A = this chain, B = another copy of it.
Amino acid sequence: MSLRLGAIVDALGGALEGASREAQVHAIAPLQTAGSDALSFLSNPRYQSQLAASQAACVIVGPAMREAALARGACIVAADPYVYFARVTQLWAREHRHEDDQAGIHPSAVVHALAQVHPTARIGPLCVVERGAVIGAHTQLKSRVTVGEHCQLGERCIVHPGVVIGADGFGFAHEAGQWVKIEQLGAVRIGDDVEIGANTCIDRGALGDTVIEDGVKLDNLIQIAHNVHIGRHTAMAGCSAVAGSTKIGAHCTIAGAASIIGHLELADNVHISTNTVVTHSISRPGQYTGVFPMDDNARWEKNAATLRQLHKLRERIKALEQTRKDG
Protein backbone atom coordinates (compact mmCIF):
# COMPACT_ATOMS: atom_id res chain seq x y z
CA MET A 1 0.00 0.00 0.00
CA SER A 2 1.43 3.33 -0.98
CA LEU A 3 0.66 6.89 -2.11
CA ARG A 4 2.73 9.15 -4.37
CA LEU A 5 3.48 12.54 -2.76
CA GLY A 6 2.55 14.27 -5.99
CA ALA A 7 -0.84 12.54 -5.96
CA ILE A 8 -1.46 13.82 -2.43
CA VAL A 9 -0.85 17.50 -3.20
CA ASP A 10 -2.72 17.17 -6.50
CA ALA A 11 -5.75 15.91 -4.58
CA LEU A 12 -5.54 18.02 -1.42
CA GLY A 13 -3.45 21.13 -2.25
CA GLY A 14 -0.56 22.28 -0.06
CA ALA A 15 3.04 22.77 -1.12
CA LEU A 16 5.41 19.82 -1.39
CA GLU A 17 8.99 20.85 -0.64
CA GLY A 18 12.27 18.97 -0.38
CA ALA A 19 11.08 15.80 -2.11
CA SER A 20 10.20 14.59 -5.59
CA ARG A 21 6.55 14.40 -6.62
CA GLU A 22 7.32 10.82 -7.60
CA ALA A 23 8.44 9.76 -4.12
CA GLN A 24 6.14 7.20 -2.48
CA VAL A 25 5.04 6.84 1.14
CA HIS A 26 4.00 3.41 2.34
CA ALA A 27 2.43 4.34 5.68
CA ILE A 28 1.02 7.24 7.71
CA ALA A 29 2.42 7.41 11.22
CA PRO A 30 2.99 9.73 14.21
CA LEU A 31 6.35 11.56 14.27
CA GLN A 32 7.85 9.31 16.92
CA THR A 33 7.09 5.97 15.30
CA ALA A 34 7.23 6.93 11.62
CA GLY A 35 9.73 4.92 9.58
CA SER A 36 11.64 6.28 6.62
CA ASP A 37 8.82 5.25 4.27
CA ALA A 38 6.06 7.06 6.21
CA LEU A 39 4.24 10.34 5.94
CA SER A 40 3.76 12.13 9.27
CA PHE A 41 2.34 15.42 10.54
CA LEU A 42 3.00 18.10 13.15
CA SER A 43 -0.22 19.77 14.21
CA ASN A 44 0.63 20.98 17.69
CA PRO A 45 3.72 23.23 18.02
CA ARG A 46 4.28 21.65 21.46
CA TYR A 47 5.62 18.57 19.70
CA GLN A 48 8.16 20.48 17.60
CA SER A 49 10.98 18.70 19.41
CA GLN A 50 9.73 15.42 17.88
CA LEU A 51 10.07 16.90 14.42
CA ALA A 52 13.85 17.02 14.23
CA ALA A 53 14.19 13.47 15.52
CA SER A 54 11.55 11.91 13.27
CA GLN A 55 12.56 9.35 10.64
CA ALA A 56 9.47 10.21 8.52
CA ALA A 57 9.92 10.48 4.75
CA CYS A 58 7.80 13.64 4.73
CA VAL A 59 6.01 15.70 7.38
CA ILE A 60 2.83 17.79 6.99
CA VAL A 61 3.39 21.14 8.76
CA GLY A 62 1.83 24.57 9.05
CA PRO A 63 3.48 27.61 7.45
CA ALA A 64 5.16 28.61 10.74
CA MET A 65 7.00 25.28 10.90
CA ARG A 66 8.19 25.27 7.29
CA GLU A 67 11.80 26.27 8.08
CA ALA A 68 12.15 23.79 10.91
CA ALA A 69 10.66 21.02 8.77
CA LEU A 70 12.91 21.71 5.78
CA ALA A 71 15.97 21.66 8.03
CA ARG A 72 15.07 18.02 8.66
CA GLY A 73 13.88 16.90 5.21
CA ALA A 74 10.79 16.83 3.01
CA CYS A 75 7.52 18.45 4.03
CA ILE A 76 4.08 19.40 2.80
CA VAL A 77 3.09 22.88 3.97
CA ALA A 78 -0.65 23.22 4.59
CA ALA A 79 -2.76 25.86 6.32
CA ASP A 80 -4.15 23.41 8.91
CA PRO A 81 -1.87 20.37 9.14
CA TYR A 82 -4.31 18.32 11.27
CA VAL A 83 -7.19 18.78 8.84
CA TYR A 84 -4.78 18.03 6.00
CA PHE A 85 -3.71 14.85 7.79
CA ALA A 86 -7.37 13.88 8.16
CA ARG A 87 -7.86 14.35 4.43
CA VAL A 88 -4.77 12.25 3.70
CA THR A 89 -6.23 9.39 5.74
CA GLN A 90 -9.40 9.70 3.64
CA LEU A 91 -7.37 9.64 0.43
CA TRP A 92 -5.45 6.64 1.72
CA ALA A 93 -8.64 4.78 2.60
CA ARG A 94 -10.19 5.62 -0.77
CA GLU A 95 -7.15 4.40 -2.70
CA HIS A 96 -7.03 1.14 -0.77
CA ARG A 97 -10.73 0.37 -0.73
CA HIS A 98 -11.83 -3.17 -1.55
CA GLU A 99 -14.58 -4.26 -3.82
CA ASP A 100 -16.47 -5.61 -0.76
CA ASP A 101 -17.05 -2.04 0.35
CA GLN A 102 -19.19 -1.36 -2.69
CA ALA A 103 -22.77 -0.19 -2.60
CA GLY A 104 -25.58 -2.68 -2.32
CA ILE A 105 -27.35 -4.93 0.12
CA HIS A 106 -25.42 -7.87 1.52
CA PRO A 107 -27.35 -11.09 0.89
CA SER A 108 -27.40 -11.89 4.63
CA ALA A 109 -29.11 -8.58 5.50
CA VAL A 110 -32.86 -8.60 6.16
CA VAL A 111 -34.35 -5.60 4.38
CA HIS A 112 -38.11 -5.14 4.31
CA ALA A 113 -39.70 -4.89 0.88
CA LEU A 114 -41.18 -1.53 1.86
CA ALA A 115 -37.89 -0.02 3.08
CA GLN A 116 -36.28 2.54 0.77
CA VAL A 117 -32.58 1.95 0.34
CA HIS A 118 -30.76 4.30 -2.03
CA PRO A 119 -28.86 2.41 -4.74
CA THR A 120 -25.58 4.00 -3.62
CA ALA A 121 -26.12 3.01 0.03
CA ARG A 122 -24.38 -0.04 1.47
CA ILE A 123 -26.23 -2.39 3.81
CA GLY A 124 -23.63 -4.69 5.34
CA PRO A 125 -23.91 -8.27 6.55
CA LEU A 126 -26.64 -9.26 9.00
CA CYS A 127 -28.28 -5.84 9.18
CA VAL A 128 -32.03 -5.45 9.68
CA VAL A 129 -33.88 -2.63 7.89
CA GLU A 130 -37.56 -2.59 8.74
CA ARG A 131 -40.74 -1.55 6.97
CA GLY A 132 -40.78 2.04 5.80
CA ALA A 133 -37.18 2.81 6.82
CA VAL A 134 -35.27 5.18 4.52
CA ILE A 135 -31.50 4.92 3.93
CA GLY A 136 -30.05 7.86 2.01
CA ALA A 137 -27.41 8.03 -0.70
CA HIS A 138 -23.90 6.78 0.11
CA THR A 139 -24.93 5.86 3.64
CA GLN A 140 -23.24 2.75 5.06
CA LEU A 141 -24.60 0.33 7.64
CA LYS A 142 -21.43 -1.59 8.47
CA SER A 143 -22.77 -4.89 9.88
CA ARG A 144 -25.35 -6.09 12.43
CA VAL A 145 -27.18 -2.74 12.47
CA THR A 146 -30.93 -2.50 13.08
CA VAL A 147 -32.92 0.38 11.58
CA GLY A 148 -36.50 0.20 12.84
CA GLU A 149 -39.80 0.94 11.17
CA HIS A 150 -40.10 4.31 9.49
CA CYS A 151 -36.73 5.55 10.75
CA GLN A 152 -34.74 7.68 8.33
CA LEU A 153 -31.03 8.19 7.73
CA GLY A 154 -29.75 10.93 5.43
CA GLU A 155 -26.83 10.86 3.03
CA ARG A 156 -23.21 9.84 3.67
CA CYS A 157 -23.94 8.49 7.16
CA ILE A 158 -21.68 5.81 8.64
CA VAL A 159 -23.31 3.42 11.10
CA HIS A 160 -21.03 1.01 12.92
CA PRO A 161 -21.81 -2.57 13.96
CA GLY A 162 -24.40 -3.31 16.61
CA VAL A 163 -26.17 0.05 16.41
CA VAL A 164 -29.91 0.01 17.16
CA ILE A 165 -31.92 2.84 15.65
CA GLY A 166 -35.59 2.97 16.51
CA ALA A 167 -36.05 0.62 19.44
CA ASP A 168 -38.95 1.64 21.66
CA GLY A 169 -38.37 4.54 24.00
CA PHE A 170 -38.75 3.75 27.70
CA GLY A 171 -42.24 5.00 28.41
CA PHE A 172 -44.74 3.67 30.94
CA ALA A 173 -47.66 4.93 32.93
CA HIS A 174 -47.95 3.75 36.51
CA GLU A 175 -51.14 2.06 37.65
CA ALA A 176 -51.66 0.20 40.90
CA GLY A 177 -48.01 -0.72 41.27
CA GLN A 178 -47.60 -1.93 37.70
CA TRP A 179 -46.27 -0.36 34.52
CA VAL A 180 -48.59 0.22 31.56
CA LYS A 181 -46.66 0.44 28.29
CA ILE A 182 -46.93 3.63 26.26
CA GLU A 183 -46.50 2.44 22.70
CA GLN A 184 -43.80 4.48 21.01
CA LEU A 185 -45.50 5.81 17.90
CA GLY A 186 -42.80 8.22 16.68
CA ALA A 187 -39.65 7.37 14.73
CA VAL A 188 -36.01 8.51 14.41
CA ARG A 189 -34.89 11.10 11.87
CA ILE A 190 -31.16 11.35 11.22
CA GLY A 191 -29.63 13.99 8.96
CA ASP A 192 -26.69 13.87 6.54
CA ASP A 193 -23.05 13.11 7.41
CA VAL A 194 -23.91 11.58 10.77
CA GLU A 195 -21.58 8.90 12.16
CA ILE A 196 -22.83 6.48 14.84
CA GLY A 197 -20.44 4.29 16.86
CA ALA A 198 -20.69 0.61 17.66
CA ASN A 199 -23.57 -0.62 19.87
CA THR A 200 -25.02 2.87 20.26
CA CYS A 201 -28.82 3.06 20.68
CA ILE A 202 -31.17 5.79 19.44
CA ASP A 203 -34.76 5.23 20.54
CA ARG A 204 -37.83 6.17 18.54
CA GLY A 205 -40.02 8.99 19.82
CA ALA A 206 -43.14 8.40 21.89
CA LEU A 207 -45.37 10.65 19.79
CA GLY A 208 -43.08 12.93 17.76
CA ASP A 209 -39.66 11.84 16.46
CA THR A 210 -36.17 11.64 17.92
CA VAL A 211 -33.99 13.94 15.77
CA ILE A 212 -30.26 13.88 15.04
CA GLU A 213 -29.24 16.81 12.85
CA ASP A 214 -26.63 16.97 10.09
CA GLY A 215 -23.01 16.34 10.92
CA VAL A 216 -23.56 14.91 14.41
CA LYS A 217 -20.90 12.41 15.50
CA LEU A 218 -21.76 9.78 18.10
CA ASP A 219 -19.16 7.41 19.54
CA ASN A 220 -19.76 3.86 20.84
CA LEU A 221 -22.25 2.64 23.47
CA ILE A 222 -24.21 5.88 23.65
CA GLN A 223 -27.82 6.02 24.74
CA ILE A 224 -30.12 8.54 23.05
CA ALA A 225 -33.60 8.33 24.56
CA HIS A 226 -36.94 9.06 22.94
CA ASN A 227 -37.68 12.53 21.61
CA VAL A 228 -34.15 13.80 22.15
CA HIS A 229 -33.04 16.44 19.63
CA ILE A 230 -29.32 16.87 18.90
CA GLY A 231 -28.23 19.95 16.98
CA ARG A 232 -25.93 19.93 13.97
CA HIS A 233 -22.22 19.14 14.30
CA THR A 234 -22.50 18.21 17.96
CA ALA A 235 -20.15 15.39 18.98
CA MET A 236 -20.68 12.93 21.83
CA ALA A 237 -17.98 10.60 23.14
CA GLY A 238 -18.35 6.98 24.24
CA CYS A 239 -20.79 5.84 26.93
CA SER A 240 -22.50 9.21 27.21
CA ALA A 241 -26.28 9.29 27.55
CA VAL A 242 -29.16 11.68 26.99
CA ALA A 243 -32.51 11.10 28.66
CA GLY A 244 -35.91 11.69 27.10
CA SER A 245 -37.03 14.91 25.42
CA THR A 246 -33.78 16.80 26.06
CA LYS A 247 -32.70 19.23 23.34
CA ILE A 248 -28.97 19.73 22.77
CA GLY A 249 -27.80 22.66 20.66
CA ALA A 250 -25.43 22.78 17.70
CA HIS A 251 -21.63 22.55 17.95
CA CYS A 252 -21.70 21.08 21.44
CA THR A 253 -19.27 18.46 22.72
CA ILE A 254 -20.30 15.89 25.30
CA ALA A 255 -17.32 14.02 26.73
CA GLY A 256 -17.19 10.33 27.57
CA ALA A 257 -19.67 8.85 30.05
CA ALA A 258 -21.37 12.20 30.64
CA SER A 259 -25.13 12.06 31.32
CA ILE A 260 -27.81 14.59 30.55
CA ILE A 261 -31.13 14.11 32.29
CA GLY A 262 -34.48 14.47 30.57
CA HIS A 263 -36.51 17.51 29.53
CA LEU A 264 -33.55 19.93 29.51
CA GLU A 265 -32.33 22.38 26.92
CA LEU A 266 -28.65 23.00 26.19
CA ALA A 267 -27.62 26.04 24.15
CA ASP A 268 -25.25 25.90 21.18
CA ASN A 269 -21.52 25.59 21.93
CA VAL A 270 -21.95 23.99 25.32
CA HIS A 271 -19.14 21.64 26.32
CA ILE A 272 -19.72 18.99 28.97
CA SER A 273 -16.72 17.35 30.65
CA THR A 274 -16.22 13.64 31.09
CA ASN A 275 -18.56 11.84 33.52
CA THR A 276 -20.42 15.03 34.33
CA VAL A 277 -24.13 14.78 35.12
CA VAL A 278 -26.14 17.63 33.63
CA THR A 279 -29.16 18.15 35.88
CA HIS A 280 -30.41 21.54 34.69
CA SER A 281 -30.71 23.41 31.41
CA ILE A 282 -27.70 25.43 30.21
CA SER A 283 -28.34 28.67 28.39
CA ARG A 284 -24.76 29.97 28.06
CA PRO A 285 -21.89 28.52 26.01
CA GLY A 286 -18.99 27.26 28.08
CA GLN A 287 -17.36 24.26 29.70
CA TYR A 288 -19.29 22.55 32.49
CA THR A 289 -17.94 19.94 34.88
CA GLY A 290 -18.93 17.83 37.87
CA VAL A 291 -16.55 14.98 38.66
CA PHE A 292 -15.42 13.66 42.01
CA PRO A 293 -11.62 13.97 42.01
CA MET A 294 -9.81 10.66 42.21
CA ASP A 295 -7.42 10.11 45.11
CA ASP A 296 -5.70 7.19 46.73
CA ASN A 297 -8.33 5.12 48.44
CA ALA A 298 -7.41 5.98 52.04
CA ARG A 299 -7.54 9.73 51.46
CA TRP A 300 -10.75 9.36 49.47
CA GLU A 301 -12.36 7.50 52.36
CA LYS A 302 -11.59 10.31 54.81
CA ASN A 303 -12.75 13.02 52.45
CA ALA A 304 -15.90 11.17 51.42
CA ALA A 305 -16.83 10.59 55.06
CA THR A 306 -16.37 14.28 55.75
CA LEU A 307 -18.38 15.17 52.66
CA ARG A 308 -21.38 13.48 54.22
CA GLN A 309 -21.03 16.00 57.10
CA LEU A 310 -20.39 18.99 54.86
CA HIS A 311 -23.57 20.87 55.61
CA LYS A 312 -22.92 20.50 59.34
CA LEU A 313 -19.36 21.73 58.90
CA ARG A 314 -20.78 24.82 57.27
CA GLU A 315 -23.01 25.36 60.28
CA ARG A 316 -19.98 25.04 62.52
CA ILE A 317 -18.11 27.66 60.49
CA LYS A 318 -21.12 29.96 60.77
CA ALA A 319 -21.13 29.47 64.54
CA LEU A 320 -17.43 30.29 64.75
CA GLU A 321 -17.95 33.40 62.67
CA GLN A 322 -20.79 34.43 64.94
CA THR A 323 -18.57 33.94 68.00
CA ARG A 324 -15.88 36.08 66.43
CA LYS A 325 -18.41 38.79 65.64
CA ASP A 326 -19.86 38.64 69.14
CA GLY A 327 -16.42 38.39 70.79
Interface assignment of A67: CB less than 8 Å from any CB of chain B: no
Closest CB of chain B to A261's CB: distance in Å? 6
Interface assignment of A274: CB less than 8 Å from any CB of chain B: yes
Q: How many copies does the complex hold?
A: 3
A311 and B303 CA atoms in complex are apart in Å by 5
When the two chains form the complex, which single residue of B86, B142, B148, B172 contacts A86, counting CB atoms closer than 8 Å? Answer: B172
A90 and B30 CA atoms in complex are apart in Å by 45
CB-CB under 8 A from A93, the residues of chain B are 183, 185
A181/B238 in contact, CB under 8 A: no
> Whose C-beta in chain B lies nearest to the C-beta of A38?
B207
CB-CB under 8 A from A125, the residues of chain B are 110, 128
CB-CB under 8 A from A198, the residues of chain B are 146, 164, 167, 201, 203
A300/B290 in contact, CB under 8 A: yes
Interface assignment of A292: CB less than 8 Å from any CB of chain B: yes
> Whose C-beta in chain B lies nearest to the C-beta of A293?
B304
Interface assignment of A276: CB less than 8 Å from any CB of chain B: yes
B256/A257 in contact, CB under 8 A: no
When the two chains form the complex, which single residue of B174, B259, B304 contacts A275, counting CB atoms closer than 8 Å? Answer: B259
A207/B30 in contact, CB under 8 A: yes
Scan residues 89-120 of chain A and give those whose CB is less than 8 A from a CB of chain B: 89-90, 92-93, 98, 100, 106, 108, 110, 112
> Whose C-beta in chain B lies nearest to the C-beta of A279?
B294
CB-CB under 8 A from A52, the residues of chain B are none
Scan residues 1-41 of chain A and give those whose CB is less than 8 A from a CB of chain B: 28-30, 33
B308/A293 in contact, CB under 8 A: yes
A184 and B269 CA atoms in complex are apart in Å by 27
B172/A217 in contact, CB under 8 A: yes
A30 and B298 CA atoms in complex are apart in Å by 33
A86/B144 in contact, CB under 8 A: no
B276/A294 in contact, CB under 8 A: yes
| Interface 0/1 of A290-327, CB less than 8 Å to B | 11111111011111111111110110110011011001
Other CB < 8 Å A-B pairs besides A287-B297, A317-B320, 15 of them?
A85-B173, A86-B180, A110-B125, A142-B167, A160-B167, A168-B195, A223-B239, A261-B274, A286-B297, A288-B300, A289-B301, A293-B307, A303-B311, A307-B307, A320-B320
